[in-house]
Structure formats: C-alpha cells, structure tokens
C-alpha cells in the first residue's frame, strides 16, 4: 500500500513535471521566434523613423512591435507560471515522500517493538519452561532420595521407646539384657550423658533392678 502510494505520487509528479517542461520548451521556441521578429520589426521601425518621413508606416511598424512585445511578455509570464507550478509539484511530492517515509518509519518502530515484545514473551515462556523443568527434575530427585531413605530406614535397626532408627545423641542402658539397649536422649528425658563411671538404666530395667535412675 505504501509502495503504491509512493509510486503513484512519484509518477504523478514526474508526469506533471514532464508536461510543464515540454510546455516551457515550446514557449522558449515561440519566444525566440517572436523575439527575432521583434528585433527585425524594431530595426525596420527605427530605420523608418530615422530615414523616412512616413508616419503611417511608422505607426504600422510601431503597432507590430508593440504587439510582438506584448506576446513576448505574455510568454515570459507563462514560463514563470509553469516554473512555479513545477516547483510546487516537486515540493508537494517531497512532502508526500516525507509523510510516507514517516509512516514507514513508524511501522518499522511498531514492528520492532512488537518483535521485541514477542521475544520477551518467548524468553519469559522459555524461562517458565526451564523453571518447570528444574522443579520437575528436583521433584524427581527428591522422590528418588525419599525412596532411598525409606529403603535405608527399612533396612536399619530400630531403637528406643519411640521405635525409630538411630539419630542424634543416644544413651545405652547398662543392663546387658535390656531388650532395647539404646535410647534417644530426648525420649528418655536425659539432659546430659552420664560419666564413664556412672551407670544408667532405662525405666523398665530400673524397675526390674529396683535401681534409682539418674537423669
């Protein structure tokens, strides 16, 4: 559409300019012929005025020179008019080109902005997909780790009155026949591990041995 407008404007301006130039050339040819005729008539008129005493012929030649001068003046004015029209057409064409170029420039900026927006959205989507993939991968890793942990826990022995695997600080019952043996400190409410020369028994073993338990 823009190319058509630009091409149409250029064709119109070129056609109008060519027509005006053709008219100006024709007027130039006519002007030259009239000016030549004027020079001849004026020379003849001057000769009659200076060398002949013939008022009627002098009047006739004067009128012919006056008419030729009027036609020459008219042609000169027509040439100036055509030159102004050509200049106006060229300026109008240049303004049209500027307007079309501005529209094209605006469309290029809009297209560039749209492309940049699409790229940003694409980058955002790629970023979202990457985050989703990372989250999925992390979830899969956690699932594997959880499965491994469960398997490991299933294979580990359990201790304490809580019947859990060993973790943290633990204390051993000094009754060799204690069915549990090891206890988590927090489960048996022991705040500190007894010294090496001190004995510690769990509640069940303490009752059996009737021993006062240290905690």
CA distance 207 to 215: 15
65 is in an annotated binding site: no
CA distance 99 to 108: 14
CA distance 39 to 141: 110
160 is in an annotated binding site: yes
CA distance 24 to 80: 9
CA distance 42 to 61: 7
Asked if 205 and 197 touch (Cβ cutoff 8 Å), the reply is no
Asked if 169 and 183 touch (Cβ cutoff 8 Å), the reply is no
β-bridge mates for residue 158, sequence order: 165
In degrees, rounded to 5, the angle at the alpha carbon of residue 82 between the alpha carbons of residues 76 and 85 is: 145
207 is in an annotated binding site: no
In degrees, rounded to 5, the angle at the alpha carbon of residue 106 between the alpha carbons of residues 3 and 93 is: 45
Q: Which residue numbers belong to the known binding site? A: 160, 162, 173, 178, 184, 187, 202, 205
As annotated, the binding site for Zn(2+) includes 160, 162, 173, 178, 184, 187, 202, 205
């Amino acid at each position: 559409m823009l190319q058509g407008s630009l091409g149409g404007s250029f064709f119109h301006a070129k056609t109008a300019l060519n027509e005006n130039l053709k008219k100006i050339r024709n007027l130039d040819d006519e002007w030259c012929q009239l000016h030549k005729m004027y020079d001849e008539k004026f020379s003849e008129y001057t000769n009659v005025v200076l060398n002949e005493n013939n008022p009627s012929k002098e009047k006739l030649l004067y009128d012919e020179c006056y008419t030729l001068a009027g036609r020459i003046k008219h042609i000169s004015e027509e040439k100036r008019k055509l030159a102004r029209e050509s200049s106006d057409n060229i300026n109008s064409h240049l303004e049209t080109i500027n307007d079309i170029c501005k529209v094209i420039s605006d469309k290029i900026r809009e297209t560039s902005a749209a492309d940049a927006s699409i790229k940003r959205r694409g980058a955002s989507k790629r970023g979202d997909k990457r985050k989703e993939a990372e989250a999925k991968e992390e979830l899969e890793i956690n699932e594997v780790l959880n499965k491994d942990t469960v398997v490991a826990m299933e294979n580990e022995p359990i201790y304490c009155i809580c019947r859990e695997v060993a973790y943290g600080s633990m204390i051993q019952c000094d009754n060799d026949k204690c069915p549990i043996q090891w206890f988590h400190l927090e489960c048996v409410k022991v705040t500190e591990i007894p010294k090496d020369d001190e004995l510690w028994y769990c509640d069940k073993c303490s009752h059996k041995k009737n021993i006062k338990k240290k905690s």
